[in-house]
Amino acid sequence: MFNSFKYANYFWFVLAVVINSFSHYIRALRWCLLIKPLGYEIGKGYTFLAVMSCYLTNLAVPRLGEIVRSTMITSRYKVSFDKTLGTVITERAVDTLLFVLIFFVAFLFEYNLFKDYIIDNLNIDLNKYTFLFVIGIIGVLFAIILLFIFRKRLSNNKIYNKIKGFFSGIWQGMKTVLKLERPYLFIAYSLFIWFLWIFGTWILFKAMTETFSLGMKQAMVVTVLGSIGTMITPGGIGIYPTIFAKVLEVYSIKRAVGYALGWLCWLVSQIGPVIIGPIGFIIFAKGNKNKNAKDNVTGD
């Protein structure tokens, strides 16, 4: 594995980092489209910094980054936090939908590979997860029925009204996808983000002699299955290279080479947030400090 690191061509690694960071910028542009129907023009540069800070935060605490980036934009532009969070939830819902779509496309291309990988490597007990899913749905429906029955009694409760108002704001943020001025641009951005992820993986294949000839189909399969790792651990640390190596092994790539390339691919996804994320925190903190000082002078 260390020999693979030693003889890798790091020009392709650097290019993959640039492509990955560019995908985050496209994500920032897409987020601007969602926030605009709320009546706010958000700076693209600040949105990009907030997105990178989000990914940096998720390395430490999964999903906390979504709260952090919403808070950053809220503090700078005075946008309603719950509505901003609603746009983030909409983003994630769209990403999940596209993941499922691309997963099935990759599944059609490599049916046998997916079947063997999921059964032999992930060892998923579908009956167990189906049971938990059904129990969860029943619990949610039961809670909704109780709220509907006792809604009049709860209408004067401050805590209930705050919770209701919070989720109402989130719902308004989520509905912005229906009010987009350029919905086709939103769809194009969403697809382009996934294309850049897959293209970045293909570019990284060029870094090693053993994987140089692998194509976009293999890159799509590796990227999609690798995404499962990022759902399990923060940023996919540890498990992402393992998935990468196991999938490439099916394509007759030695496991040591697969692990080395998997770690490089994982680093590609983390270098941008690690470098740019702290800059985002500093700039937002400095901007808020200056704005607070100005407010104190003006008496606001």
Q: What is the pLDDT of residue 299?
A: 42
pLDDT in tens, 109-130: 777 766 666 656 555 554 555 6
Distance CA 208, CA 256 (A): 12
- Residue 296 banded pLDDT, cuts 50, 70, 90: very low
Q: What is the pLDDT of residue 290?
A: 56
- pLDDT tens for 84-97 read 888 888 888 888 88
* Within a domain: 154: yes
Residue 229 has pLDDT above 50, yes or no: yes
What region, left, alpha or beta, does residue 27 occupy, with left being phi > 0 and alpha being psi -120 to 50 degrees?
Answer: alpha
Report the pLDDT value the prediction gives residue 29, as an integer from 0 to 100: 94
The pLDDT, as a whole number, for residue 99 is 87
300 inside domain: no
Question: The tokens of 30 are what?
Answer: 């897409």
Whether residue 298 lies inside any domain: the answer is no
**151-180: pLDDT as tens digits:** 666 666 666 666 666 566 556 655 666 677
d(CA 147, CA 250): 51
Q: Which amino acid is at 71?
A: T
Residue 194: predicted pLDDT: 93
Provide mean pLDDT across the span 218-223.
Answer: 90
Pairwise pLDDT comparison (156 vs 34), residue with the higher score: 34
Confidence band (pLDDT; 50, 70, 90) for 12? very high
Q: What is the per-residue pLDDT for 295?
A: 45
Instruction: Give the HSE-up count for residue 210: Cα atoms under 13 Å, Cβ half-sphere.
Output: 20
User: Is 236 inside a domain boundary?
Assistant: yes
Give me the pLDDT at residue 82, please: 81
Closest C-alpha to 102, from 224, 265, 271, 186 = 224
- Asked whether residue 295 is assigned to any structural domain, the reply reads no
Q: What is the DSSP string of 68-86?
A: HHHHHHHHHH---HHHHHH
pLDDT of residue 94: 85
Q: Which of 64-73, 118-127, 183-192, 215-224 has the lowest mean pLDDT?
A: 118-127
Would you say residue 268 has pLDDT above 80? yes
- Least confident range of 5-14, 88-97, 171-180, 260-269: 171-180
pLDDT band at 293 (very low <50, low <70, confident <90, very high): very low
Please, where are the H alpha helices in 118-215? 126-149, 151-154, 158-174, 183-205
Number of domain units in the chain: 1
For residue 291, being part of any structural domain is answered with no
pLDDT in tens, 194-217: 999 999 999 999 999 999 999 998
CA distance 193 to 202: 14
In a domain, 292, yes or no: no
Residue range 273-280: mean pLDDT, rounded = 92
Percent of the chain scored above 70 by pLDDT? 78
Q: Would residue 199 count as lying in a domain?
A: yes
User: Which pLDDT score is estimated for 297?
Assistant: 40
Q: Is the pLDDT of residue 289 over 70?
A: no
- Residue range(s) defining the domain that contains residue 265: 2-286
- Cβ neighbors of 87 (< 8 A, separation 6 or more) are 31, 34, 35, 38, 173, 174, 176
* Rounded alpha-carbon distances, angstroms, from residue 202 to 69, 109, 255: 30, 16, 18
**Candidate ranges 185-194, 238-247, 284-293; pick with highest mean pLDDT:** 185-194
Where would I find the H helices in 110-157? 111-117, 126-149, 151-154
In this model, does residue 181 exceed pLDDT 80?
no
